[in-house]
Amino acid sequence: MPTWFRMGTALTACLISSSVFAQARATAIATSRSEFNELRAWDQRIDSLIRSRDLVVRESMRDTMLPERNHERLDQYIRGVRVVGGDVTRQSAPDGTVSLFGMIHEGVDLSTVPRLTSEEAGEALRKAGAGTLRGDPELVILPLSDGYHLSYYGQVITAVDIVNVFVDAASGSSLRVYSEFTTEVGSGKGAYGDDKKVATKPSAGGFIADDSLRPGAITTYDMRGSFSRTELLLDGVVSAAASDVASDSDNVWTDPTVVDAHVYSGWYYDYLFKRFGRSGTDNRNLRIAVYTHPVRVEDIGSASPDVLGLFYVNAFYCGSCSRDGRGAVLFGEGAPRGFFGNFEVKPFSAALDVVAHELTHAVTYGSARLNGFPLSEAGSLNEAFSDVFGVSTAFYYLPAGNAAMQASYLLAKDLTQPIGGAFVARSLADPRSTGDADHYSQRNIGGDPHANGVILGHAFYLAIEGGTNRTSGMSVQGVGAANREQIEKAFFRALTMLLPSNSTFALARAATIQASRDLYGVNSTAERAITQAWDAVGVQPRTTPTATLVVNPPTANAQTAATCGANPSWIVYSTMSAGASNLRITSWTSDDFNAAGTLIDHSVYSLSNYASSFSYCGPASTTLLAQADACAAMCWYLNPGVTTGSTQLNFTAVDDTGRTLNFSTPRVTLR
């Protein structure tokens, strides 16, 4: 049975009327020529929405892998107000539409007249973000787990971050706050003493790390440990000066952090072009701005937790950073041996897969724009695709293996010395070995999006290498390492051309399968491998509600007892996900079992406890919008004297048609 506690920043929501919720629905679109009648019906509907200006073409682009194909990205508007996460991708060939993917919000009867003025909204945004507002507020319609909210959106600059903020357009109360930072030819030597060619150009009697050999310029900045200067540049308060660019007097570069960052960024540019025909991160040769040495390693002992977590032991991409708004990627300084344990954390540019991971966030920012909310499936997918193309870039350039400077499915192993220290690594081959989810039934949308994203990363691994998922026991016949290009292209095409911004794992499944059909044909080995891989990790079309229960930590310990006030006790996380229909929760219960599997407790909880518990990744409510998630974090304990056992949660809900639905979480072990 649980006791309740909240984790993270409290969310204040403006609860909407039940009539608005009942009429409105988020509809996931995933259709292609294999469902011809459905495709034709949706295609006609999309054309109608374009004519009424409820859908507006944001971008139209030629397919880099199939030149006869074209792709449109369309954003949804309701009476002239943009719907956050409402967008559609349409793939067309000379003989008509090939596929449609998206999330459309239908029946939203919500007033689009705000009560707050723009000035009042700006003050509310500043207050909610605890900083300085950048630019003017934008009026938007924000779908959350409990329904739709007319809100204002803006970016706020804080002491160490840039945060995206949504506030209610009537009351000014905070609805969402999350970081904009998406976390992780001369010669020179890298962090492991390896020789590298550094693309530079002469300047003022020396050389600067400004790569003009590639069509997309790559400029690497050396902030020389000046945190204040780094903040001014990232926030766009000042423009970069010539003195900010990394430089060397004789073109034999001796700073391994700069060498790695600059060279690996160039390698990533080449990987995109050679593998996918893509011209830079945005396919238009957008400048890549790379920041190194944002802080001094000798100052790590006095760094605040925020600075430590962002500028020392992290790397991040920021799509709106810099004065020209073209984005930037920053690599943390690392940590000396002994600061965290008996290992060194190298500067985050030392690992090719980490550099490629962060630059893939730039690709996502310029294409799918996967919803920035960290506590969402789209947020997890954002991290997942960066993991996938981080390791893919490494496999493209490096020999396979587990030593330094070798490609493997253990992401970021090169950041720690000794190699593979237990600091930042995630394993796409065996996610459970690094404490991450390897199956959809283990997702915790209220938790670390990197950990949830490994579900997709493991599917990617299985589609290439084959193998058996540890949780489901299902086997996959991969295409083989010699054919990894097929899976890389299918996943990249899905990310950059097919997926909408508010994607779910189910849409990622459909889009990657469709991409494999487009490239290699129906029933190809690539399609078979990708389909089997998604089956093995438990991702299926999202039509009916599901729920998960995850225990963390898996063993009762003193820290958990201190948090929960009892020993033994466990912290459990639950995620409830709606399918194609809105849900109204009518009851929830739990069943506890002892080690022998005998039922020892059946508890019935109030709906008010449901609303307060399932409020971590969305507003507190007993309603759940179609395709949305609700998350909870709870302390759990068994009957007195019972030290091991298992538990599960059970739910009853009513859908839009009035039908009663019953579903449960998997039973999890408490030991």
Select the more confidently predicted residue: 372 or 615.
615
- For residue range 48-84, list pLDDT tens digits in order: 999 999 999 999 999 999 999 999 999 999 999 999 9
Q: What is the layout of strands, in order, in the sheet containing 195-198?
A: 195-198, 186-189, 252-253
- For residue range 539-593, list pLDDT tens digits in order: 999 999 999 999 976 666 777 877 888 888 899 999 999 999 999 999 999 999 9
Residue 494 Cα distances to 283, 370, 510, 583, 654, angstroms = 15, 12, 9, 30, 34
Asked whether the beta carbons of 163 and 145 are under 8 A apart, the reply is no
Strand, helix or coil for residue 160: coil
Q: Quick one: pLDDT band at residue 456, thresholds 50, 70, 90?
A: very high
Residues 447, 538: Cα–Cα separation, whole Å: 19
**If you average pLDDT over every residue of the chain, what do you get?**
91
Residues 621, 15: Cα–Cα separation, whole Å: 8
Q: Which residues pair with 300 in a beta bridge?
A: none
State how far Cα 642 lies from the chain centre: 39
Model confidence at 18: pLDDT above 70: no
In this structure, what DSSP letter does residue 239 have? Answer: P
Closest among 501, 620, 627, 623 to 175, alpha carbons compared: 620
**Domains of the chain (ranges plus CATH)?**
25-106 (3.10.450), 180-366 (3.10.170.10), 376-540 (1.10.390.10), 543-670 (2.60.40.1470)
- For residue range 144-153, list pLDDT tens digits in order: 999 999 999 9
pLDDT score at 15: 33
pLDDT score at 22: 52
- What radius of gyration, in Å, describes the C-alpha atoms of the chain? 25
The b/e string for 470-488 (b: 16+ C-beta within 10 A; e otherwise) is ebeeeebebbeeeebbbbb
Model confidence at 420: pLDDT above 60: no
Residues 290, 553: Cα–Cα separation, whole Å: 37
State how far Cα 29 lies from the chain centre: 20
Asked whether the beta carbons of 386 and 357 are under 8 A apart, the reply is yes
Model confidence at 12: pLDDT above 90: no
How much is the average pLDDT of 150-157? 97
Asked whether the beta carbons of 585 and 652 are under 8 A apart, the reply is yes
Residues 408, 392: Cα–Cα separation, whole Å: 9
- For residue range 234-248, list pLDDT tens digits in order: 998 999 999 999 998
365 CB-contact burial (10 Å; exposed 0-12 / middle 13-18 / buried 19+): buried
Identify the sign of the CA torsion 484, 488, 491, 497: negative
Model confidence at 14: pLDDT above 60: no
Model confidence at 10: pLDDT above 50: no
